[in-house]
C-alpha cells in the first residue's frame, strides 16, 4: 500500500491544530496508519512539523500567486487571498500557532511570503485604501491570526464553514479600512 504523504500531513495538521500536544501515536491513528509507518516517513515530531511547514509554505505561496494581490482594488485582492487560502486554512492555523517554527531562524520562504503580504498592505495604504496608523507588519500578523481563528472556529463548529471568508474579510477591513471621517 502506498502512503499518501500529503494526506498524512493534512491529518496531522487537523489533529495538531485542535490538540497541539498530540503524540506521534495519536497522529498516526488520526492518519489511519501505524506508528512505525509514521516514523519511517517522519523521524519524530520535529521532522513532521518541518514537513508541515514546507507544505504550508507551498500552499500559501500558491494562494498568494492565485490572489493576484497587485491587481485591482486592495479590498478585492484581500477577498481573493482569503478565498485562495481557505482550502488550507487548517494547516495555516496550525502553523501560525506552532511555537516550534519560531524558535531560532524563520524559514526564508516564510520571510518572502510575509514580505509579499506586507507589500500588499503597504500598497493599500499608499492608495489611501487602508489606514496608515497600523503598520503593514501588524496588518499581516492580524490577517494570519484571523485565518487561524476562523479555521479553528469552523473546525469546532462554532461558525459555519460558509462564513469563513466573510468573517475574515469584514473584520479585517472594518479595522483596516481608512475612514474619511475623523
Predicted pLDDT of residue 93: 79
Q: pLDDT tens across 79-123, in order? A: 999 999 999 888 887 777 775 555 555 678 888 999 999 999 999
Q: Are 52 and 13 in contact (CB under 8 A)?
A: yes
Q: pLDDT tens across 37-47, in order? A: 999 989 998 89
Report CA Rg, the chain: 18
The ranges assigned to domains in the chain are: 53-176
Rounded to whole angstroms, the Cα distance separating 120 from 135 reads 12
Predicted pLDDT of residue 104: 57
Q: What is the mean pLDDT of residues 112-139?
A: 95
Q: pLDDT higher for 178 or 4?
A: 4
DSSP labels for the chain? ----HHHHHHHHHHHHHH-TT--HHHHHHHHTS-HHHHHHH-SSHHHHHHHHHHHHHHHHHHHHHHHTTTSS-HHHHHHHHHHHHGGGHHHHHHHHH-GGGGSSPPPHHHHHHHHHHHHHHHHHHHTTSB-SSS-HHHHHHHHHHHHHHHHHHHHTTSS-GGGHHHHHHHHHHHHHBPPS--
pLDDT band at 148, cuts 50/70/90?
confident
Write the class of the CATH domain 53-176. mainly alpha
Rounded to whole angstroms, the Cα distance separating 160 from 133 reads 32
Q: What is the mean pLDDT of the chain?
A: 88
Q: Are 80 and 68 in contact (CB under 8 A)?
A: yes
Q: pLDDT higher for 13 or 69?
A: 69
**What does pTM read for this prediction?**
0.84
Amino acid at each position: 500500500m502506498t502512503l499518501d504523504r500529503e494526506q498524512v500531513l493534512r491529518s496531522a495538521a487537523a489533529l495538531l491544530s485542535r490538540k497541539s500536544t498530540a503524540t506521534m501515536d495519536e497522529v498516526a491513528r488520526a492518519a489511519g496508519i501505524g506508528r512505525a509507518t509514521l516514523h519511517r516517513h517522519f523521524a519524530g515530531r520535529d521532522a513532521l512539523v518541518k514537513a508541515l511547514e514546507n507544505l504550508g509554505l507551498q500552499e500559501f505561496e500558491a494562494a498568494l500567486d492565485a490572489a493576484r494581490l497587485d491587481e485591482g482594488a486592495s479590498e478585492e485582492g484581500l477577498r481573493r487571498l482569503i478565498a485562495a487560502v481557505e482550502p488550507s486554512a487548517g494547516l495555516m492555523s496550525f502553523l501560525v500557532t506552532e511555537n516550534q517554527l519560531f524558535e531560532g531562524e524563520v524559514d526564508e520562504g516564510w520571510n518572502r511570503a510575509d514580505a509579499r503580504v506586507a507589500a500588499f498592505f503597504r500598497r493599500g495604504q499608499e492608495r489611501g485604501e487602508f489606514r496608515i496608523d497600523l503598520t503593514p507588519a501588524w496588518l499581516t500578523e492580524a490577517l494570519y491570526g484571523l485565518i487561524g481563528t476562523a479555521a479553528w472556529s469552523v473546525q469546532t463548529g462554532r461558525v459555519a464553514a460558509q462564513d469563513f471568508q466573510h468573517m475574515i474579510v469584514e473584520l479585517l477591513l472594518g479595522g483596516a479600512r481608512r475612514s474619511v471621517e475623523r
